[in-house]
């Protein structure tokens, strides 16, 4: 782990808990695709690149989750590189307090301002689509977060951010973070049309065939939907539903899991509500959800 691995003439990646893409624009300069989860990861990335005679020219953030932009600030400070991000992801990268605020649904209390939910902002962020280096292509990957993108290199390598989660992650946690369930499923459908040499999801080892992993992700989403519909045969509040989901999948709640799984469960409810499969009523000053 934390090794620079070559995938094509100009395309490399650093294998880590959050895989980091490396694209050479010349013999000595590279653009990173994501920047690791925190300051320490950023330092490790720089150390690996320096050992290979490479300097960071820029960072492309696929999206603004703290575990993908956590290394931005230290790498920017040490290399004077540019930081690029897309749409809403650019705004959250500039103002990372928006991530825990969004997840909690209000001003976050201090314990929510931890490195897993709140990154350090780089000094300046540019719009990705206006500054994309030659040889790279943006692939829109909505669903996991607001304006998440992947990057295709001219070596026909795809960096897929968080649009696919590993089999191991799904078997351990079951519920992976999703902002828009409908868009996530549509992105899975789009992935089936890609014809790349290799694919690098952020939280999975390098793969050359997406078919099995797409099906694993799709099946789990459909399973979660079915589980919610079954539980909501008994009308209940959101908090009761959240508790039942944790029990069903033998999950142990902590603060980060509460906001991440809680936010995702609300996204499932929105998807099922808009699909005409659940509804709610407000009774005795409580919002009660139920299956139709």
- Please write the tens of the pLDDT for every residue from 118-177: 999 999 999 999 999 999 999 999 999 999 999 999 999 999 999 999 999 999 999 999
At residue 1, the pLDDT reads 83
Euclidean distance between the first and the last CA atom of the chain, given in angstroms as a whole number: 48
Instruction: Report helix, strand or coil for 124.
Output: coil
Per-domain residue ranges for the chain?
Answer: 4-162, 225-291
Q: Domain 225-291, what fold?
A: Arc Repressor Mutant, subunit A (1.10.10)
| Tens of pLDDT, residues 186-241 | 999 999 999 999 999 999 999 999 999 999 999 999 999 999 999 999 999 999 99
As a whole number, mean pLDDT of residues 77-103 equals: 98
Instruction: Report helix, strand or coil for 81.
Output: coil
Give dist(CA 57, CA 79) in Å, integer: 8
Give dist(CA 286, CA 100) in Å, integer: 25
Which whole-number Å values give the CA distances from 93 to 45, 80, 118, 160, 187, in the listed order? 19, 17, 10, 19, 23
Give dist(CA 7, CA 155) in Å, integer: 8
Give dist(CA 132, CA 84) in Å, integer: 8
Q: In Å, how far from its chain's centre is CA 150?
A: 10
- Phi, psi of 284, deg, nearest 5: 50, 40
Q: Max CA-CA distance within the chain?
A: 67
The answer for residues whose C-beta is within 8 angstroms of residue 289's C-beta and 6 or more apart is: 232, 235, 236, 237, 238, 241, 269, 278, 279, 280
At residue 260, the pLDDT reads 98
Please say whether the beta carbons of 10 and 56 come within 8 A. Answer: no
Q: 4-162, superfamily in CATH?
A: Ribonuclease Z/Hydroxyacylglutathione hydrolase-like (3.60.15.10)
- pLDDT at residue 34 above 90? yes
| Tens of pLDDT, residues 208-223 | 999 999 999 999 999 9
Q: Do domains 4-162 and 225-291 have the same CATH topology?
A: no
Which whole-number Å values give the CA distances from 176 to 107, 163, 261, 272, in the listed order? 23, 10, 7, 17
């Amino acid at each position: 782990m934390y090794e620079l691995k070559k995938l094509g003439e100009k395309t490399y990646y650093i294998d880590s808990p959050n895989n980091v893409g490396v694209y050479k624009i010349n013999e000595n300069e590279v653009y990173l695709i994501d920047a690791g989860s925190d300051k320490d990861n950023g330092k490790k990335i720089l150390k690996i690149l320096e050992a290979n005679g490479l300097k960071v020219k820029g960072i492309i953030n696929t999206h603004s989750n703290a575990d993908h932009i956590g290394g931005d600030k230290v790498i920017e400070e040490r290399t004077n590189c540019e930081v690029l991000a897309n749409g809403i992801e650019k705004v959250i990268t500039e103002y990372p307090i928006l991530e825990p605020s969004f997840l909690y649904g209000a001003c976050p209390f201090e314990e929510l301002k931890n490195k897993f939910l709140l990154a350090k902002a780089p000094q300046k962020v540019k719009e990705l689509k206006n500054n994309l280096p030659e040889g790279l292509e943006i692939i829109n990957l909505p669903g996991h977060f607001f304006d998440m993108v992947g990057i295709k290199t001219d070596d026909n390598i795809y960096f897929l951010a968080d649009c696919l989660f590993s089999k191991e992650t799904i078997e351990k946690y079951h519920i992976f973070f999703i902002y828009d369930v409908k868009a996530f499923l549509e992105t899975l459908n789009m992935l089936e049309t890609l014809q790349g040499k290799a694919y690098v999801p952020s939280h999975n080892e390098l793969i050359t065939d997406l078919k099995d992993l797409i099906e694993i992700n799709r099946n789990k989403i459909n399973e979660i939907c079915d589980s919610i519909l079954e539980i909501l045969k008994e009308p209940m509040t959101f908090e009761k539903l959240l508790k039942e989901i944790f029990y069903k999948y033998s999950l142990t709640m902590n603060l980060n899991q509460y906001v991440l799984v809680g936010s995702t469960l609300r996204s499932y409810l929105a998807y099922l509500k808009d699909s005409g499969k659940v509804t709610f009523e407000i009774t005795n000053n409580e919002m009660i959800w139920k299956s139709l």
